[in-house]
Structure 1
Amino acid sequence: MFDFDMLGLAPALNDALKRAKFSQPTPIQNQAIPLALKGHDILGLAQTGTGKTLAFGLPLIDHLLAQPGKPDPKTAKALILAPTRELVNQIADSLRNLTGDTRLRVATVVGGQSINRQISVLSRGTDILVATPGRLMDLMDRRAVDLSSVRHLVLDEADQMLDLGFIHALRKIAPQLGTPRQTMLFSATMPKQMEELSRAYLTNPQRVQVSPPGKAADKITQSIHFVSKPGKPHKLREILSADKDALTLVFSRTKHGAEKLMKGLVADGYNAASIHGNKSQGQRDRAIKAFRSGEINVLVATDVAARGIDIPGVAYVINYDLPEVPDNYVHRIGRTARAGREGQAIAFCSAEEVDLLRQIQKLMKINIPVASGTQPEAVEPKKPTRNQNNRRRSFKPQAANGGSKPAASKGRRPRRKPAA
């Protein structure tokens, strides 16, 4: 294994890495950094928690340090797009730790925060802009940012951006960027759509893959508990009580479910908080900060946090509800066993979720060890009743642009168009 100082990085970066006590690069960093330093486009595939941020961040900073001059007002030299607010903030914090003693500036733009303040920050220009696609589009519409100077583009967790429907935003953002440019695309999974994305935005990319897509980190111990849906609350408390001080991340499928579960835990004396889409950005930031510091030790979350939490001390990830998208299971459990540590991923599976479990195991090409219970027969989701179907058919949207018009009300003649 090489040391960072053997990769050819700028002295300022090597000094920053030593201060942060980083000595040896991870496999994805070891392979990607030399190629990125040479200017190649990169398609990087690795599990969560393996150091993808430094894999693209270090060569990006190195390139920018070699470029003279400050950014012009409203411009950026490099753009990093990520799907969630939490991930944007996590990336920015990592980069600021490396650029603190340099002239480079790092700015973030995400939804849920004051857009006027972000406009003020961008008015001075920035070297590195880390953004969610939606808020960046808002700022572009207001002419608050000029992307024509961007010569480095990074798409982090690109598959989740596709899942969240950001492909349309990417198609609008990309033509506004400068050329020629270096593009780096990183993800933990490689669905077919992402192959198409890489062909559209990368030029002769170097593919860097340190593990098969869908594979979890080696130091994660996985287990499954077959338990009925009504039995899940008791099983969760049983597991939490066995290691009361451990940092535990619990995943719920829905926002309402996450909030209800958190409130029940707090009522039972557990030190818990929640983050999900109905929480403000300030509430989410405070919850993650409290979790990171150990002020709370149970964090209940939806998939909004599956890729936005980089806390090395997370000992347990509990899938209270199995995700409907198999790839999300890999991202969820990747919140533990980070930075070389060990961790446990525990999943609950009810009869309604047996098919979801099969899809997850098929993706990962493993059978998750059973910790308790017996696999039940799969239960088909309830089909809508006849009355529900009738109600759905009764609400037919009016077709736009020449579509069929709704029938005129009985007993009334349609209004005549006034003479010109």
Structure 2
Amino acid sequence: MAFDHLPPALADALGARDYQTLTPVQSQVIEAGAHGRDLLVSAQTGSGKTVAFGLAMADELLADGRLPFASAPLALIVAPTRELALQVSRELGWLYAATGARIATCVGGMDASRERRALNQGVHIVVGTPGRLRDHLERGALDLAALRVAVLDEADEMLDMGFREDLEEILDATPETRRTLLFSATIPKPIAQLAKRYQRDALRISTVGEDRGHGDIAYQVVTVAPADIESAVINLLRLHDAETAMLFCATRDNVRRLHARLVNRGFAAVALSGEHSQNERNQALQALRDRRARVCVATDVAARGIDLPSLSLVVHVEIPRDAETLQHRSGRTGRAGKKGTAVLIVPYPRRRRVDAMLRGARIDAEWTGAPTADDVRARDRERLIEALLAPIEHDEEDIELGRRLLAERAPEEIAAALVRAHRATMPLPEELIDNGPPPRRERGERAEREPRERGGHRDGFDDSVWFRLNIGRRHNADPRWILPLLCRRGHVTKHEIGAIRIGPNETLFNIPLAIADRFAEAVERSANKDGEDDNGVAITPAPGGATWPPRREGGPRKDGPRKPHGKPGGFKAKPFGKGKPRAPR
């Protein structure tokens, strides 16, 4: 379509990029009522904000479709991270290419002397991060006296990262006649205060209601046993076979560990976190754009501003801290009208928290189990058949080689060799500890339960100590994933764990007396300051042993609690973590 209401240079640039229509935020910032006014804009990641403020500030910058001679900067865009600032610079570069715009980037981790030389030579638009811009300002390299437009991109994130003082010093150095455009995913109280101080009669624009949850993103929630998280990641990558996928972790250490495992398993993966230099980040992103890498493991901050057109899968390996973080992460995909998939990997004990987060964000997600190795192999077969049966052109050399193979081997043998060669290029899927709920039984069929789940006596556990988990049936507790959790936290084998009794809100299990102290110390070392693991599971000594009897065929016991197998007084339970002994029920 023709963008007749835009400056010709910008309209031609949009047409060259195959823009058919503008997004809601882009349309609203160029309406007649917004012309020349300060803007306070709420818009989600991936809604086209960069092009939006590029269009909005055109009237202040362009004269007869061109920019004037470059002396002092006319426009300043401040972004929270290096990647976002570089992305904004690239977007404005093609949008203003025909206007003769000179754009400079000033971000941490880059050569500051080169940035100062670019500023001294004259630029029209400066894009940078708060810390580096403040540094250039204090050194006299950045002159904002002639500034006409100031843009704060993702202002809420900049305040969360502690850049308030930097922003205030930068804005205080600009003329009062400037136009201020403030873009933020949300407008909390600190953003409102910043807008009140630096904006005049700002027009409030919000497209959050229209974009909430990203209509082009399909959300899935995969529930797994805590010990199956990394295996589920591998199976998800194999099942979706995305051209580019991004995996989000909470810490640098987790990024490093997951990246190492994926590379070891044969995935072409790169890592992005705060410990990487700008040069390393640039190389990782270029590898993704060149298709030399297909998987990126990143922390939240490192992934801000990354725009990869081929990114179709986002996996939240660790649960985001809130709904806004969830949408910022997921917004890396489903951009510019393309479809994307966002998958949250949720350990069973944390289902309620994620369910509440999704409801608060008004996101409709599909809940499912993790893909098994059989699921991946079945999808591989479908993809292989599609690839081999797709029509392609053959040259004479290929046909001659095919005739030679058919003369020496049967067609079935050649096809089998081709399948084997295809599979050899792909990482093997993982076998999960928990493959989902057991099959439903027909009416009248008697269930055979494991001795651990029955809570019955096991040989060798006459002298034992009882411990307690703060999860039960209401938290989807199941011996199939509780058992590996206990082995990992307590540094024991499955044969050293006795009966497991699952109640509505808690679970009891017993450990041989001889290793109880060692088990308790290992659990304490593997817990955080609250006495829990990363999934909120706490293990504490059970006060007085097992406090309720196992179920019997005749129904619940009527004659009071059953005495525990362990001998009272044989083990002095030391409270560890946040667990405190309670009075027996």
Same fold per superposition (TM over 0.5): yes
**Change over 3 Å in CA distance of 1:365–1:102 after alignment to 2:** closer
- Shift of the alpha carbon at 1:51? 0.8
**Change over 3 Å in CA distance of 1:304–1:112 after alignment to 2:** same
Superposed counterparts of 1:226-305, under 5 Å: 226-305=223-302
- Shift of the alpha carbon at 1:312? 2.5
**Which residue of structure 2 lines up, in the alignment, with residue 219 of structure 1?**
216
**Which residue of structure 1 lines up, in the alignment, with residue 518 of structure 2?**
none
**Which residue of structure 2 lines up, in the alignment, with residue 409 of structure 1?**
none
Distance 1:94 1:154 in 2: 15
SS at match of 2:57: helix
- Shift of the alpha carbon at 1:136? 0.8
Could you tell me whether the CA contact under 8 Å between 1:43 and 1:198 is conserved in 2?
yes
Could you tell me whether the CA contact under 8 Å between 1:81 and 1:130 is conserved in 2?
yes
Q: Tell whether 2:147 aligns with 1:150.
A: yes
**Which residue of structure 2 lines up, in the alignment, with residue 70 of structure 1?**
69
1:335 pairs with one of 332, 336, 339: 332
Moved more, 242-251 or 24-33: 242-251
Name the amino acid aligned to 2:297.
V
Could you tell me whether the CA contact under 8 Å between 1:327 and 1:360 is conserved in 2?
no
Distance 1:25 1:318 in 2: 29
Name the amino acid aligned to 1:383.
D
Superposed counterparts of 1:253-402, under 5 Å: 253-350=250-347, 353-354=350-351, 356-358=353-355, 360-366=357-363, 368-372=365-369, 376=476, 382-383=529-530
**Which residue of structure 1 lines up, in the alignment, with residue 131 of structure 2?**
134
Moved more, 103-112 or 220-229: 220-229
- Shift of the alpha carbon at 1:103? 2.2
| Structure 1, unpaired ranges of 5+ | 390-420
Could you tell me whether the CA contact under 8 Å between 1:53 and 1:94 is conserved in 2?
yes
Distance 1:214 1:31 in 2: 14
- Shift of the alpha carbon at 1:274? 0.7
Distance 1:265 1:193 in 2: 40
Distance 1:157 1:204 in 2: 20
**Which residue of structure 2 lines up, in the alignment, with residue 203 of structure 1?**
200
**Which residue of structure 2 lines up, in the alignment, with residue 185 of structure 1?**
182
Distance 1:368 1:241 in 2: 21
Q: Tell whether 2:238 aligns with 1:91.
A: no
Identify the structure with bigger relative contact order (alpha carbons < 8 Å, sequence gap 6+).
1
Could you tell me whether the CA contact under 8 Å between 1:271 and 1:297 is conserved in 2?
yes
Name the amino acid aligned to 1:81.
V
- Shift of the alpha carbon at 1:229? 3.1
Distance 2:349 2:143 in 1: 49
Could you tell me whether the CA contact under 8 Å between 1:28 and 1:50 is conserved in 2?
yes
**Change over 3 Å in CA distance of 1:332–1:114 after alignment to 2:** same
1:161 pairs with one of 158, 170, 189: 158
Distance 1:84 1:353 in 2: 31
Name the amino acid aligned to 1:60.
M
- Shift of the alpha carbon at 1:362? 4.5
Distance 1:245 1:319 in 2: 15
- Shift of the alpha carbon at 1:320? 0.2
**Which residue of structure 2 lines up, in the alignment, with residue 103 of structure 1?**
100
Name the amino acid aligned to 1:277.
G
Could you tell me whether the CA contact under 8 Å between 2:75 and 2:126 is conserved in 1?
yes
Moved more, 62-71 or 158-167: 62-71
**Which residue of structure 2 lines up, in the alignment, with residue 5 of structure 1?**
3
| Structure 2, unpaired ranges of 5+ | 370-435, 438-474, 478-504, 507-526, 532-573, 579-585
Q: Deviations over 1:284-336 (max 9, x none)?
A: 11111221232211011101244311122211100001122431111000111
Could you tell me whether the CA contact under 8 Å between 1:49 and 1:339 is conserved in 2?
yes
Name the amino acid aligned to 1:152.
V
SS at match of 2:204: strand
Q: TM-score, with normalisation over the residues of structure 2?
A: 0.62
**Change over 3 Å in CA distance of 1:130–1:175 after alignment to 2:** same
Could you tell me whether the CA contact under 8 Å between 1:111 and 1:135 is conserved in 2?
yes
Could you tell me whether the CA contact under 8 Å between 1:219 and 1:342 is conserved in 2?
yes
Could you tell me whether the CA contact under 8 Å between 2:528 and 2:577 is conserved in 1?
no
Q: TM-score, with normalisation over the residues of structure 1?
A: 0.84
The structure whose Rg is larger is 2
- Shift of the alpha carbon at 1:352? 6.4
Q: Deviations over 1:127-183 (max 9, x none)?
A: 110010011111122221111211201011111111111112111111101120111
- Shift of the alpha carbon at 1:367? 5.6
- Shift of the alpha carbon at 1:62? 4.0
Q: Deviations over 1:33-59 (max 9, x none)?
A: 225872011111222111111110023
Distance 1:158 1:131 in 2: 13
Q: Deviations over 1:367-419 (max 9, x none)?
A: 63311269647999642699999xxxxxxxxxxxxxxxxxxxxxxxxxxxxxx
Q: CA RMSD in A?
A: 2.6
Q: Deviations over 1:187-206 (max 9, x none)?
A: 22233322222222221111
Name the amino acid aligned to 1:96.
G
Q: Deviations over 1:62-117 (max 9, x none)?
A: 43122864232xx3111000001000010100111022222221110000011111
